[in-house]
Structure 1
Amino acid sequence: MSIKKNIAIFGVALATSSMLFTSCNTVKSMNNTQKGAGIGAVGGAGLGALIGKKAGNTAVGAIIGGALGGVAGGLIGKKMDKQAAEIERTVDGAEVVQAGEGIIVKFDSGILFGFDQTALKPEAQTNIKNLVKSLNDNPDTDILIIGHTDNKGTAEYNQGLSERRAAAVKNYAVAQGLSSSRAKTEGKSFNEPIADNSTEAGRAQNRRVEIVIVANEKMKEEAKQQSSM
């Protein structure tokens, strides 16, 4: 298990205990500016609590691993707030998870693909095209595209399927004008479930693609400079 994944799991676990001292209403009312400023202080625990069971460990770890925290993190969080609201307005079928210094855009696989398919549905192409517009309007970010499956079938087959689906999303996004250098892909098979794989409803939630948006080095350096003024 990677160090980043361990950090993500620890952050989520620690968040469970930290939530005993933080009211639900307070957490829900925080925007990304406030969350970004607080990540450094809580070591990722607050982020884990805010994401909860909405995303897998790789997505959580990608955001925690690159978080600055403090005033600089708050500045980045403010930019992410604006972009998250824009994505919610313009991309149908996507669940937008605001996550401090990053954003997770989650699509159920059924929205993107037919059964056991890797070709994007026509409506999915429209969604990805609209997402690319937002990504290109906010160029100082890096993108990680993560494919997930349920536990039907072998681990080997599902690993390949998750990789191919993540690649299909990236390839179409690049065809719509996204710079290939900004985006990476990973396939996680059924290793990061967010719901119970013993039920059909749970398996449907686990079949998904997560698109993680985080600040690149240029945005981080600008935030550091602004925070020191």
Structure 2
Amino acid sequence: MKHNGVVIGCLVATMLVSGCQTTNPYTNQSENTKATNGALIGALAGAAIGVISSSKSDRGKGALIGAASGAALGGGIGYYMDEQEVELRQQLQSTGVSVTRSGDDIILHMPNEVTFDVDQTVLSQSAKNVLDSVALVALKYDQTKLNVMGHTDSSGAAAYNLKLSERRASEVASYLMLRQLPASRVASFGVGEDRPISSNETKAGRAENRRVEIILSPLS
């Protein structure tokens, strides 16, 4: 009976999200949106909870209710972040800032050439322009948290690099708050040289490692 309940949950999820597909503009192929994926995951989890929490005779009904609730919740968060991602991509075109997606998180990768001069903590004008655009979208989507992460290359002492990354992250976070984002939605962290994305053995690799990332996540 438990297996039947989960199967029912899958069917409900399919019906609920059948309209949540989109066409990839680069491949022209139909694919699930993040909202669809969230709804599918939510439906399966909801179905399982519905089965467990229902009496033996009502497990099929419990799975249906759980799947519907889970799909609505999962799809809602995914859809919210989908819409925000689209607007961020539009705002940040041709700025040098990349927008990537990891689950329900949106990651803005700001290379050092866009944000700070070498060994500096004063935001460049191009960085301010980028952050104005980020704040514009973030103010509209007020159920999102912005975590600002500062990164450096491995040149110099590790302790100095950590402090430098903290100051840069704090500078970005402070500017976002100047653009009316509440402090409760913005946090800053410095990780120094500990999370390289390229080799520190080359000039090009070190340049890639010097960056600020803004990770936008659902508040709930």
With the length of structure 2 as denominator, give the TM-score of the two structures: 0.68
* From 124, 131, 137, the counterpart of 1:134: 137
Matches within 5 A, 1:55-134: 72-91=73-92, 92-134=95-137
Separation (CA, whole Å) in 1 of partners of 2:126 and 2:183: 22
Partner deviation per Cα, 1:103-142 (whole Å, 9 max, x = no partner)? 1111001210111111111111011011101000000111
Q: Which residue of 2 aligns with 1:191?
A: 194
SS at match of 1:145: strand
2:153 to 150, 154, 158: 150
Q: Distance in 1 between matches of 2:176 and 2:98?
A: 18
Which aligned pairs between 1:183-222 and structure 2 lie closer than 5 A? 183-217=186-220
Change (3 A) 1:75 1:117: same
1:225 corresponds to which residue? none
Gapped regions of structure 2 (runs ≥ 5): 1-26, 44-69
Where relative contact order (Cα < 8 A, 6+ residues apart) is larger, the structure is: 1
SS at structure 1 position matched to 2:213: strand
Cα distance change on mapping 1:33 and 1:118 into 2, 3 Å? same
Following TM superposition, by how much is the alpha carbon of 1:90 offset from its aligned partner in structure 2, in angstroms? 0.8
Q: Given the superposition, is the C-alpha separation of residues 189 and 30 from structure 1 closer, same or farther in structure 2, using an over 3 Å criterion? A: farther
* Separation (CA, whole Å) in 2 of partners of 1:205 and 1:36: 32
Which has the larger Rg?
2
- The 8 Å contact of residues 35 and 99 in structure 1, kept in 2 or not, is answered as no
- Alpha-carbon distance in 2 for matches of 1:71, 1:206: 39
1:100 CA displacement: 2.0
Amino acid at match of 1:127: V
C-alpha displacement of 1:147: 0.3
1:154–1:73 distance in 2 versus 1, CA, 3 Å: farther
Do the aligned partners of residues 71 and 200 (structure 1) sit closer, same or farther apart at CA in structure 2, a change above 3 Å counting? farther
Determine which of 36, 39, 44 is the counterpart of 2:38.
Answer: 36
Contact 1:35 1:100 in 2 (8 A): no
Deviates more, 1:175-184 or 1:72-81: 72-81
Q: For 1:149 and 1:116, locate their aligned partners in 2 and report how far apart those are by CA, in whole Å.
A: 10
Greater than 4 Å deviation, 4+ residue runs = 37-41
Alignment of 1:8-27 (within 5 A): none
Q: 1:151, 1:197 within 8 Å by CA — same for their partners in 2? A: yes
For residues 32 and 210 of structure 2, the distance between their equivalents in structure 1, rounded to whole angstroms, comes to 29
- The share of aligned pairs that are identical, in percent, is 37
Taking structure 1 as reference, are residues 120 and 73 closer, same or farther at Cα in structure 2, changes over 3 Å only?
A: same
What is the TM-score of this pair, normalised by structure 1? 0.66
SS in 2 for 1:104: strand
Rounded Cα–Cα distance in structure 2 between residues aligned with 1:198 and 1:126: 32
Paired residue for 2:178?
175
Structure 1, unmatched stretches of 5+, are 1-24, 42-68, 218-229
What is the distance in 2 between the residues matched to 1:103 and 1:196? Answer: 24
Inter-CA distance 195–40: structure 2 relative to 1 (3 Å threshold): farther
Q: Name the count of aligned residue pairs.
A: 164
